[in-house]
Amino acid sequence: MHVNLIPCLTDNYAYIINDNVSKTVGVVDPSEALPVIAFLKKQNLKLNYILNTHHHYDHIGGNTELKKLYNAKVVGFVGDKHRIPGIDIMLEDNAKWTFGESSVKILHIPGHTLGHICFFFENEKIAFTGDTLFSLGCGRIFEGDHKQMLTSLNKIKKLPKNTKIYCGHEYTYKNAEFCMKY
């Protein structure tokens, strides 16, 4: 499994994931389509899936264009079925989903939004946490509450220690400044 970071907007990260065995290709949280399309063309890849951790526009902004261009399936949380454009595959908490040769466990991690999920690729020990967990911090609470966020962070904490975490934004510098200040 290859994970490629695709910078989008001013500080967003989308990730193109490529299962080398099955040739299955997905993009996680495409805030805009053009950087994703450019990478796919350069690498001569065809997009099969669009994975959304939550419904905020800076994570779904590229859905419609990418789905139309590649006939890709949009994957997200069942509770966000009316808020994620073009959703085809609706997953629940603790569901198992197959991406190519990989088993993906879905973790419902509300707090930032009520329908926020994490895609955990079990064998590869890779987790896409969207806006719940960042380097040196966690996401803001928009729809949930602090108790939900703490419960969600504890779910992520229970993943294997060698899990690679891929977050939705580059906030390291801002979070480090906050840590040093307080």
Question: How confident is the model over 6-55, as pLDDT tens digits?
Answer: 999 888 899 999 999 999 999 999 999 999 999 999 999 999 999 999 99
User: What does the pLDDT look like over 57-83, one tens digit per residue?
Assistant: 988 999 999 999 999 999 999 999 999
Q: Which domains does the chain have, with CATH numbers?
A: 2-181 (3.60.15.10)
Which amino acid is residue 85, in one-letter code?
P
Predicted local distance difference test score (pLDDT) of residue 132: 87
Q: Which of 55, 56, 108, 116 is catalytic?
A: 56
Catalytic residue status for 169: yes
> For 146-157, what is the mean pLDDT?
94
Catalytic residue status for 80: no
If pLDDT is split at 50, 70 and 90, which confidence band does 177 have?
A: low
CA distances 80 to 1, 23, 25, 104, Å, are 27, 28, 23, 19
Q: Which of 29, 54, 108, 116 is catalytic?
A: 54
If pLDDT is split at 50, 70 and 90, which confidence band does 136 have?
A: low
- How many Cβ atoms sit within 10 Å of the Cβ of residue 34? 11
> For 70-97, what is the mean pLDDT?
98
Taking the CA atoms of the chain, what radius of gyration do you get in angstroms?
15
The reported pTM is 0.93
Q: How far apart are CA 17 and CA 182, in angstroms?
A: 37
Q: Which of 19, 29, 55, 112 is catalytic?
A: 112
> For 118-146, what is the mean pLDDT?
88
CA distances 162 to 2, 123, 146, Å, are 17, 11, 26
Please say whether the beta carbons of 110 and 148 come within 8 A.
Answer: yes
* 143 SS3 class: coil
Predicted local distance difference test score (pLDDT) of residue 11: 87
Of 7-16, 96-105, 127-136, which gets the smallest average pLDDT? 127-136
Predicted local distance difference test score (pLDDT) of residue 109: 97
Predicted local distance difference test score (pLDDT) of residue 174: 67
Catalytic residue status for 55: no
Predicted local distance difference test score (pLDDT) of residue 93: 98
Please say whether the beta carbons of 1 and 17 come within 8 A.
Answer: yes
* 93 SS3 class: coil
CA distances 157 to 35, 56, 129, 163, Å, are 31, 24, 11, 10
Which amino acid is residue 30, in one-letter code?
P
To which H or E segment does residue 118 belong? strand 117-121
Place of tokens 């053009």: 34
